[in-house]
Structure 1
């Protein structure tokens, strides 16, 4: 029985040593296997992660620019509220300018009417009525009155220009 128990013991010892050796091999190689798995993971995940980070940075810059644009627009809108008084002043100035232009037109039309009723024309009309028997004289007076009148209107136009 000693042979049988020795062989059983030897088998048991051999199995135990194989398991211990296998466990020692696993324990000895476990860190390198873990580092290999980490390296593999980093190699696969690093490039997409760097690309994503670059995309996020670009988006951040764009978003920051749009925020500045929004702040600028909000400031412009707030300043438009303050511009209401300026627009009212501009409207009043336009109304005044239109009124003054109408007054100038009215004054010009009055001047033209008064020019057409000038002293020389009236004088000419009186002379022709007073001297109906001298047709040559009335024509001369009329011509002279017309010449004087045209010279006066030229003088007024050159003075107003």
Structure 2
């Protein structure tokens, strides 16, 4: 038979604590896989929807960025092709300058011609004078005839003067 050992209260407390810890650890180890899966499921349920939204947004942004890259490449190609058109654009600019110059010359010539035509003092004067002389038709006719003669003499003098000036200019150039 065995002899009863004297009981030690301190030792009993330590043994009791040790057995409780072993029992608790056995309980944790037994339930650990299901608890881990529960925690994983909880984490996935919370984290998955925002992650999917972010992934969709990243895909959308990637497509937009790719489209903008194509646009930039197209624009760079267009700019590079314009570099080759520099000579043509310079030619167009020169032609436009010539056209503007020629138009100014035409306007000047038209203005000069109009000035020559309206240069007669008598024409301008007769344009403003209206004669209503129904009682004296012969005087009216005489006045018109005189005005016509004066105008033709002025035109003849102007032509002679410009021809003389032209002759003198050509004579001076030949000397």
Taking structure 1 as the reference length, the TM-score comes to: 0.52
1:63 to 58, 62, 65: 65
* Structure 1: runs of 5 or more not aligned: 6-14, 122-134, 149-161
1:3: Cα distance to partner?
6.9
Return the offset for 1:136.
Answer: 8.9
Name the CA shift for 1:113/1:29 in 2 (closer, same or farther; >3 Å). Answer: closer
- Corresponding residue for residue 86 of structure 1: 88
Query: Match for residue 33 of structure 2?
Result: 31
Q: How far apart, CA to CA, are the structure 2 residues paired with 1:137 and 1:27?
A: 140
Q: CA deviation at 1:100?
A: 1.6
Q: Give the match's secondary structure for 2:55.
A: helix
Q: Deviations over 1:137-161 (max 9, x none)?
A: 973423445899xxxxxxxxxxxxx
Q: Deviations over 1:22-73 (max 9, x none)?
A: 74x6555333222212112211211221232133223223322332332233
Whole-angstrom CA distance in 2 between matches of 1:48 and 1:104: 76
Partner deviation per Cα, 1:62-94 (whole Å, 9 max, x = no partner): 322332332233123223312322321221111
Determine which of 118, 139, 144 is the counterpart of 2:143.
Answer: 139
User: TM-score normalized by structure 2?
Assistant: 0.49
Pairwise mapping of residues 2-151 of structure 1 onto structure 2 (< 5 A)? 2=2, 23=26, 28-112=30-114, 115=117, 139-144=143-148
Unaligned runs of 5+ in 2: 6-17, 124-138, 153-175
Considering only aligned residues, what root-mean-square deviation do their CA atoms show, in Å?
4.2
User: Going by fraction, where is helix more abundant, 1 or 2?
Assistant: 1
Equivalent residue pairs, number: 122
